[in-house]
């Protein structure tokens, strides 16, 4: 082998080695980039190449470990259940999964068997071997193995793809771009987590497959930390807490992605919406309401028919097509156009707690977090171009103030023009620069999310961080020059001529359903006093105090405190325990001493106790209300 000079992580190296692994001896390196392209360590060397190594403890390295672990899981499944047909098995943000077509359902006991087999395969330190085939050779190969899903994937590749790559370890061969770790011995820490159903290609018209979820890390310590995090996330799961706390229900009878609020959940939603109204009215917004369905021609003008149709539902009335609204902007545009507007009228800020319906795929629906029908705290601001920066800045300030009430930290992201979009390049550039200028004026850092804007304009996405560090996208600020143009909106300027307003689409909490789900998990169901559906439970020790307990409950209710009365013939310890399980902030206990002294024994959900006057307690409750 002739001597070559290559660059490894910025250092010039002379070598007569054949592959990257001959040069890179660090056991923490799992893959590399050659001249910017991601490759396996078994990739042949060439003189003058530039190599950047990828260690197992980096985000890219972790992703490769997880993808490799999904292949090991698929091999274990095929060895234990030969009838299972593998489909796809990618890495994810938190782990990996693999989908299988199998008539018999996997069980939790099967997961234990699969994981044990994976450990056995890992101990064999099997190499991951890459090979290439022509497209037709690969199709014939997978047909011979009885794997129709791999054949379908090959058929759907672009016509100009002539060759495909396969990876083999042990007895398992998969269609895959790679790269992978050099051998299974690199996979030191993994855990299978759960089972779920998943439609092939995420389309409910296709066959339902069985999905096995797992996770993997570069070290057992990281895996242990992640499993502890998952356990805490399970404890906070809004679907479980929603049921335990009687907040909402979902059911097959309702259909996927539909929510019914129970009385306590209805109260929680009402409290949030009342808070929202106060926040908006204080800042000059006017409340409006639009219909749930609008004529199809309006959705054609807006561009939704061409760019958003797959996410919408349609119906027909009197021989005409109507679209069920997925967003509230069109009605707000019609409100703006209902009269002649002067430059003196602007900005106009229209606000609506509007119900919208979107066709989400069944596979992505998740409790309150992803629904088909939800309510947005939607607002649209029509302003002059010279007012644009101030209005965006005011929205950002509003986001800051509202998120502080709930104790959320957050980050900002600007999403730019997607492939499927409307409007001129000039308008998109002006809109994007306006968002950047407003964030810069506030001194807020942001990242750029290329190609993820709305089809009518770029946007600022606000990612909030909950109590255990997870990020959720809630607030959004979209800058739109396109819809005002399409709907020919205008205002009369100081010069007496017509001018085009700019339109800002924005939500603060976003989907009320999603925000409630985030709040449930953020607070683990223990809402702050002002937001708790039930703020206090009044309970007696014996029947002799039942009437006094009722009087206390009445006085609290009349003073605006949300209260429940518990005068059941149960031991006081049992009543207190039930109230704490319901995460009620305060338990008001009345015994004979309290009855005689006209006081209350107050206990909070953390176990702190004191005897106080009823008026003092009422004042404390009202002091908990946040300033808006």
Catalytic residues: 329, 358, 376, 378, 380, 459, 505
Report which DSSP code applies to 435: H
**366 DSSP 8-state letter:** B
Contacts 24+ apart (CB under 8 A), 242-251: 242/367, 242/368, 242/517, 242/520, 244/525, 244/581, 245/520, 245/525, 245/582, 245/583, 247/516, 247/520, 247/533, 248/368, 250/367
Classified as helix, coil or strand, 24 is coil
Q: Which residues contact 245 (CB under 8 A, 6 or more apart)?
A: 264, 520, 525, 582, 583
The phi-psi region of residue 48 (left if phi > 0; otherwise alpha if psi is between -120 and 50; otherwise beta) is left
Distance from first CA to last CA of the chain, Å, rounded? 74
DSSP string, 254-267: T-TT--EE-HHHHH
> How far is residue 539 from each of residues 555, 572, 591, 601, measured CA to CA in Å?
14, 8, 9, 10
Rounded to an integer, what is the distance from CA 219 to the centroid of its chain? 27
The CA distance from 415 to 393, in Å, is 17
* CA proximity to 87, closest of 134, 141, 142, 124: 142
| Tokens (6 digits) for 241 | 């807490």
Angstrom distance (rounded) from CA 382 to CA 257: 33
**Residue 181 · residue 30 · CB < 8 Å:** yes
Secondary structure element (H or E) that encloses residue 232, with its range: helix 220-236
């Amino acid at each position: 082998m002739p001597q070559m000079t290559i660059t490894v992580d910025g250092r010039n190296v002379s070598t007569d080695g054949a592959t990257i692994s001959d040069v890179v001896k660090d056991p923490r390196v799992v893959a590399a980039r050659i001249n910017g392209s991601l490759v396996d360590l078994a990739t042949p060397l060439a003189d003058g190449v530039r190599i950047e190594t990828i260690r197992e403890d980096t985000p890219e390295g972790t992703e490769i470990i997880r993808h490799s672990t999904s292949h090991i899981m698929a091999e274990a499944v095929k060895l234990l259940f030969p009838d299972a047909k593998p489909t796809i098995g990618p890495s994810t943000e938190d782990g990996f999964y693999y989908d299988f077509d199998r008539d018999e359902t996997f069980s939790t006991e099967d997961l234990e068997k699969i994981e044990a087999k994976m450990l056995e395969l890992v101990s064999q330190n099997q190499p991951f071997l890459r090979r290439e085939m022509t497209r037709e050779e690969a199709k014939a190969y997978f047909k011979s193995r009885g794997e129709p899903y791999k054949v379908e994937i090959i058929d759907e590749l672009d016509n100009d793809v002539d060759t495909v790559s396969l990876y083999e370890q042990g007895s398992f061969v998969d269609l895959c771009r790679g790269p992978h770790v050099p051998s299974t011995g690199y996979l030191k820490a993994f855990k299978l987590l759960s089972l779920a159903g998943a439609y092939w290609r995420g389309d409910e018209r296709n066959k339902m497959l069985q999905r096995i979820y797992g996770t993997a890390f570069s070290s057992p310590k990281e895996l242990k930390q992640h499993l502890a995090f998952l356990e805490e996330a399970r404890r906070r799961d809004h679907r479980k807490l929603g049921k335990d706390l009687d907040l909402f229900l979902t059911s097959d009878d309702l259909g996927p992605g539909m929510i019914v609020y129970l009385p306590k959940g209805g109260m929680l939603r009402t409290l949030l919406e009342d808070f929202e109204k106060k926040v908006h009215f204080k800042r000059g917004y006017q409340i409006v309401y639009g219909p749930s369905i609008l004529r199809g021609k309006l959705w054609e003008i807006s561009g939704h028919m061409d760019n958003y149709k797959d996410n919408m539902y349609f119906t027909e009335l009197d021989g005409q097509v109507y679209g069920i609204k997925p967003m509230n902007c069109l009605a707000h545009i019609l409100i703006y156009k209902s009269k002649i507007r002067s430059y003196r009228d602007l900005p106009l800020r229209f606000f609506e707690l509007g119900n919208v319906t979107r066709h989400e795929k069944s596979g992505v629906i998740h409790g309150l977090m992803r629904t088909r029908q939800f309510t947005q705290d939607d607002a649209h601001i029509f302003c002059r171009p010279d007012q644009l920066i101030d209005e965006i800045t005011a929205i950002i300030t509003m986001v800051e103030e509202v998120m502080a009430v709930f104790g959320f930290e957050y980050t900002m992201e600007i999403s730019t023009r997607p492939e499927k979009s409307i409007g001129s390049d000039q308008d998109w550039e002006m809109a994007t620069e306006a968002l950047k200028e407003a964030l810069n004026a506030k001194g807020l850092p942001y990242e750029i999310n290329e190609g993820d804007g709305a089809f009518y304009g770029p946007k600022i996405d606000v990612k909030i961080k909950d109590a255990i560090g997870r990020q959720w996208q809630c607030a959004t600020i979209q800058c739109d020059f396109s819809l005002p143009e399409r709907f020919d909106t205008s205002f009369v300027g100081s010069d007496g001529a017509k001018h085009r307003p700019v339109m800002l689409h924005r939500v603060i909490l976003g989907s009320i359903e999603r925000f409630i789900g985030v709040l449930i998990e953020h607070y683990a169901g223990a809402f702050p006093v002002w937001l708790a559906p039930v703020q206090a439970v009044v309970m007696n020790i014996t029947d002799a105090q039942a009437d006094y307990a009722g009087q206390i409950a009445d006085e609290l209710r009349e003073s605006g405190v949300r209260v429940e009365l518990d005068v059941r013939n149960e031991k006081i310890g049992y009543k207190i325990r039930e109230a704490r399980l319901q995460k009620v902030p305060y338990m008001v206990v009345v015994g004979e001493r309290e009855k005689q002294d006209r006081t209350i024994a107050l206990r909070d959900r953390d176990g702190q106790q004191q005897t106080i006057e009823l008026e003092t307690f009422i004042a404390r409750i009202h002091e908990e209300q946040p300033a808006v």
